[in-house]
Structure 1
Amino acid sequence: MNSRQDTPDHKFHRKALQVKEAQARVIEYAKLLDGEEVPLNQSCGRFLAEPVIAPHPFPAFNRSGMDGYALIAGDTKDCGQDRVVWLEVVDDIPCGAVPAVSITSGTAARIMTGAQVPEGADTVVMLEITETREEGGKSFVGLRKPQQAGRNITQEGFELKEGELVLSAGWKIAAGEIAALAALGVHTVKVLRRPKIGIFATGTELLEVDEPLQPGKIRNSNSPMLEALVRETGGEPVMLGAIIDDLELARSKVQMALDSYDMVITTGGVSVGDYDIMGDLVRENSGDMLFNKVTMRPGSVTTAAVRGGKLLLALSGNPGACFVGFQLFARPVISLMQGATLPFLPEWTAVLGADYSKVNNYTRYVRARLEFRDGCLYAYPAAIDESSVMVTIKDSDCLIVVPPEERGLSTGAKVRVLKLPGELQG
């Protein structure tokens, strides 16, 4: 891999890659994981490992669309307001029952919504337009209006034919998919294994979430955020804690994690300071480095390497940069490991809702809030979008992509946005 990376050893000399090229490098190592069988009720959010084919038609029989009478439409051709056609009721078919007799000319069957339409019947008449009478111990139904064949009957196989593709491999299972699988009797589903993602933070300054504040220290908020992001993407996070700025300790932790898990994500220690040990650790084996700088703000120091076929993604310790780095690089890799067909954040076009005046040499990914108004989609940039700022992450449902050639953007400008997962905030 040395041919792909000519970064000098000195930490201040970094070869910056465009975001698209950096993404292309990391997704090369998004190896598809093995499949496993899970119960249907545990399959929500998982990705199918193989296609699902309909084992039988659905509906499996001609189904009544309402409460009424199943009959032959031709028997009603002589109906009129002054002429009632009477048909003998020869069966009563509740939902879930099998018709006892076939319908022949001059007969009808009382039928409930969802019940199997008897042989011979070609239409179902709603209960409200019928009349009934008893005569000689028999029941009759009367009609005053001619009926059309095929009305109020859902034909066998109307939704799915036997052998038809229901869901393709790589499809993400949600409520609608579970309904379809349940209707077809698919009670176990073969899905791709969730990737196990090792997560740890570096920094002597870090406290655990439950520790009281101390002078010069900060709580480790990035690791819980990454844990949530990994779960949101379908992975299984493995929390490895925080480690002090010790290169030997970091080296052993990283190697252990790479040996044990499908991917490792770290946060912190990738800048150019004297204690930025993750940058130093990756440079020890420069041939394994995919990149150590990206032309983006925030998160330009995002670093990626591969060891033993496993991807190591080292994100910035700044919360904003860590969040953006995960969305651009970790999310697509974790998604592809599970067979996702659309691993990247969806791109939308929106109208800028407020001026954005920052000028950058690199593409900037601005945390923003989306709002629909008067049939248009507006994007409002966060008032504070510095790399070190954490609180605006919770208020954002998209990232505005500001190219480096833009020398500030005015309200009303058309902008490209990357839609973040979840519901719109506004």
Structure 2
Amino acid sequence: MKYSDDYTNDKFKRRAISVEEAQKRVMEHVRPGITEIVPLPEAQGRFLAEPLHAPHPYPHFRRSGMDGYAVVSADTKNCKDDETVWLRVVDEIPCGYVSDRLITSGLAARIMTGAQVPEGADAVVMLEATRLREEAGDVYVGLKKIVEPGNNITPVGYELQEGELLLEKGTRLGAGEISVLATFGIHSVPVIRKPRVAVISTGSELLSVDEPLQPGRIRNSNSFMLAVQIREAGGEPYIFGSVPDDVKAAGRVVMDALQNFDYVVTSGGVSVGDYDIMGDLVRQEGVDLLFNKITMRPGSVTTAAVINGGLLFALSGNPGACFVGCELLLRPVIRTMLGAPQPFLPRWQVLLGADYNRVNNYTRFVRARTEIRDGRVYAVPAAVDESSVMISIKDSDCLIVIPPGTGQLEEADKIEIIKLEGGGWS
């Protein structure tokens, strides 16, 4: 679907759409992810390209759950009224050793936790419940309590049977998932290739991070912030640096990036000033403009367009707006391409941690920090949450969602937040 006809060439006359509609429009252009095979040590943080099933049961042998003695449970039926039953110890079984002794009535085998239970034994008695004696060169173990069949033995397939689902398609592989794959010998893992995202900042005022400060100029911090956000989403960022306020120069860089990367994200140049080059670029012939204004603060001028089949995100140069635009729009696109079952950040119902009285006609996404008070979750708004403010981003682990027209909010009011990835509780 083309949305370009919704707009006029006068960039001061934008038609704002909702965040939800903007997300819907960019999602229509998500490209299917490409499968690649990576070695297990390189699979951390990657997304599975297909479901994986257990190639064998786990455990694949009867496993002792205790240090103790493997016995025939029927031998213990006479352990009553403090009567001790004595069994001759015929083997010692450490982990990794498979006994060739058959345990029959009157016999026992010393066994370690995790070792394979010998044939014939149907229970393991914990070491602390036994005592030993020697007689005629043989060792005997004494038991004083009745044990049931299967006691302290983990049966074959207790955790998973052969063919059962191990991990679903779209699972992000963390420590637990990697452990599961290693346990089942899955050393080559099918994953979705990381989306490659070009990161471009616009503005003649930008300095590189290693340049000394100059009057009227600032360092290009947005590119590095966006690169981290892209990595956290599962993508692979490529920082192009900054381009000056020149539509033709910016256009050449963007067009080249669109041909070689899955997505392109820019920061800056989307407002309504004389030097806001991205606003002009997306109105050129052959560009399918998806939107150039969203009913949200910060970042109302966030823009997206399709150029030659490639998806371009043009975010505000203000760091707060740039950060929010990436989380709400680029992140779910990356996650969807990776096959994640839940591409959007989770939304929670919590309590407001401090009074908030800022009223807007648009939905406001307020940087905030969650904390626990008396067992309940509160979100405390950042003291300074202006679009141009950068410092409070580092102190935030969520975004408070303030619907349009909301009046005075007081501490402990119920609110909705969007939980940012990696954010914890103080």
The TM-score with structure 2 as length reference comes to 0.98
User: 1:412, 1:139 → 2: CA distance?
Assistant: 70
Letter in 2 for 1:381: P
Q: How far off its partner does 1:4 sit?
A: 6.5
User: 1:390, 1:131 → 2: CA distance?
Assistant: 69
* 1:163 match: 163
Query: Is the CA contact 1:56–1:162 (under 8 Å) kept in the aligned structure 2?
Result: yes
Letter in 1 for 2:330: A
Pair 1:197 & 2:197 matched = yes
* 2:213 match: 213
User: SS at the partner of 2:128?
Assistant: helix
Q: How far off its partner does 1:3 sit?
A: 5.2
* 1:22 match: 22
User: 2:327, 2:51 → 1: CA distance?
Assistant: 28
Q: How does 1:30-109 map to 2 (within 5 A)?
A: 30-109=30-109
Pair 1:259 & 2:259 matched = yes
Query: Is the CA contact 1:2–1:286 (under 8 Å) kept in the aligned structure 2?
Result: no
Q: How far off its partner does 1:276 sit?
A: 0.3
Q: How far off its partner does 1:405 sit?
A: 2.4
Q: Please, what is the CA RMSD of the aligned residues?
A: 1.2
* 1:284 match: 284
Q: Which deviations, in whole Å up to 9, do the C-alpha atoms of 1:34-92 show, x marking residues without a partner?
A: 11111111111000011111000111101001110011111101113542111111221
User: 1:310, 1:91 → 2: CA distance?
Assistant: 69
Unmatched runs of 5 consecutive residues or more in structure 2: none
Query: Is the CA contact 1:81–1:145 (under 8 Å) kept in the aligned structure 2?
Result: no
Structure 1 residues 276 and 82: CA distance shift in structure 2, 3 A: closer
User: SS at the partner of 1:210?
Assistant: coil
Q: How does 1:351-362 map to 2 (within 5 A)?
A: 351-362=351-362
Greater shift after overlay, 277-286 or 57-66? 277-286
The count of aligned residue pairs is 426
User: 1:90, 1:200 → 2: CA distance?
Assistant: 73
Query: Is the CA contact 1:73–1:123 (under 8 Å) kept in the aligned structure 2?
Result: yes
Query: Is the CA contact 1:47–1:191 (under 8 Å) kept in the aligned structure 2?
Result: yes
* 2:377 match: 377
Q: Which deviations, in whole Å up to 9, do the C-alpha atoms of 1:251-271 show, x marking residues without a partner?
A: 100100000000000000000
User: 2:244, 2:65 → 1: CA distance?
Assistant: 67
User: 2:333, 2:96 → 1: CA distance?
Assistant: 47
Q: Which deviations, in whole Å up to 9, do the C-alpha atoms of 1:236-288 show, x marking residues without a partner?
A: 11111101000100110010000000000000000000000001000113751
Structure 1 residues 379 and 286: CA distance shift in structure 2, 3 A: farther
Q: How far off its partner does 1:373 sit?
A: 1.2
* 2:316 match: 316
* 1:332 match: 332
Letter in 2 for 1:321: A
* 2:420 match: 420
Unmatched runs of 5 consecutive residues or more in structure 1: none
Q: How far off its partner does 1:138 sit?
A: 2.0
Pair 1:404 & 2:404 matched = yes
Letter in 1 for 2:275: Y
Pair 1:178 & 2:185 matched = no
Question: Percent identity among equivalent residues?
Answer: 60
Q: How far off its partner does 1:424 sit?
A: 1.6
User: 2:411, 2:334 → 1: CA distance?
Assistant: 36
Query: Is the CA contact 2:45–2:173 (under 8 Å) kept in the aligned structure 1?
Result: yes
Letter in 1 for 2:106: G
Pair 1:130 & 2:130 matched = yes
User: SS at the partner of 2:350?
Assistant: strand
User: 1:286, 1:425 → 2: CA distance?
Assistant: 47
Pair 1:350 & 2:350 matched = yes
User: 2:43, 2:3 → 1: CA distance?
Assistant: 43
Q: How far off its partner does 1:309 sit?
A: 2.3
User: SS at the partner of 1:288?
Assistant: strand
Structure 1 residues 217 and 82: CA distance shift in structure 2, 3 A: closer
Structure 1 residues 267 and 393: CA distance shift in structure 2, 3 A: same
User: SS at the partner of 2:418?
Assistant: strand
User: SS at the partner of 1:283?
Assistant: coil
Q: How far off its partner does 1:30 sit?
A: 1.8
Letter in 1 for 2:247: L
Letter in 1 for 2:234: G
Letter in 2 for 1:373: R
User: 2:147, 2:274 → 1: CA distance?
Assistant: 86
User: SS at the partner of 1:416?
Assistant: strand
Query: Is the CA contact 1:303–1:315 (under 8 Å) kept in the aligned structure 2?
Result: yes
